[in-house]
Amino acid sequence: MPPRDHDTGTSTRRKVLGDAHVDRAMRATTAFDAPFQDLITDAAWARVWSDETLTHRDRSLITIALLAALGHWDEVAMHVRATANTGATEAEVQAALMHVAIYAGVPAGNRAFRVAKDAYAEMAGAEAAE
């Protein structure tokens, strides 16, 4: 794994989630949650997402499945939107969510499909507006 490096984490976070998302998160950071933002930038983005053992596409699919299995719906939507940057296709997300339905339960899969479908519709609407 790469060493903890805040700049690397920030760069990777921008590649995956996009500048607009990261800029919003940075603007919303307060003294209260700044240590948390540093933690996720250093641990999640510099250590895990910057490790080249898996591609961003692969990590994207794993992350979506894990978040769906755990019922973290806002994060599922965010990472589905991030597939525009990671290269994970709708078919691949669909396959990952099928795994969620089998291994984490049909209710989790059902909700995950609804959240992903809404995120893709939002993305299509944003593209149409451009």
Q: Are residues 66 and 49 in the same domain?
A: no
Residue at a domain's end among 53, 72, 91: 53
Same-domain check for residues 22 and 84: no
CATH for 62: 1.20.1290.10
Q: Which residues 6+ apart lie within 8 Å of 121 measured at CB?
A: none
Q: Identify whether residues 78 and 40 lie together within a single domain.
A: no
**Same domain? 10 vs 66:** no
C-alpha dist (Å) from residue 81 to 5, 84, 117: 25, 6, 11
Q: Tabulate helix, strand, coil % of the chain (nearest 5).
A: 80, 0, 20
Please report, in tens digits, the pLDDT of each residue of the chain (130 residues total). Answer: 444 688 999 999 999 999 999 999 999 999 999 999 999 999 999 999 999 999 999 999 999 999 999 999 999 999 999 999 999 999 999 999 999 999 999 999 999 999 999 999 999 998 788 7
Residue 80 lies in domain: 54-130
Number of domains in the chain: 2
Burial of 96: CB neighbours in 10 Å, binned 0-12, 13-18, 19+ = buried
Domain match, 99 and 74 both: yes
- The pTM for the full model equals 0.91
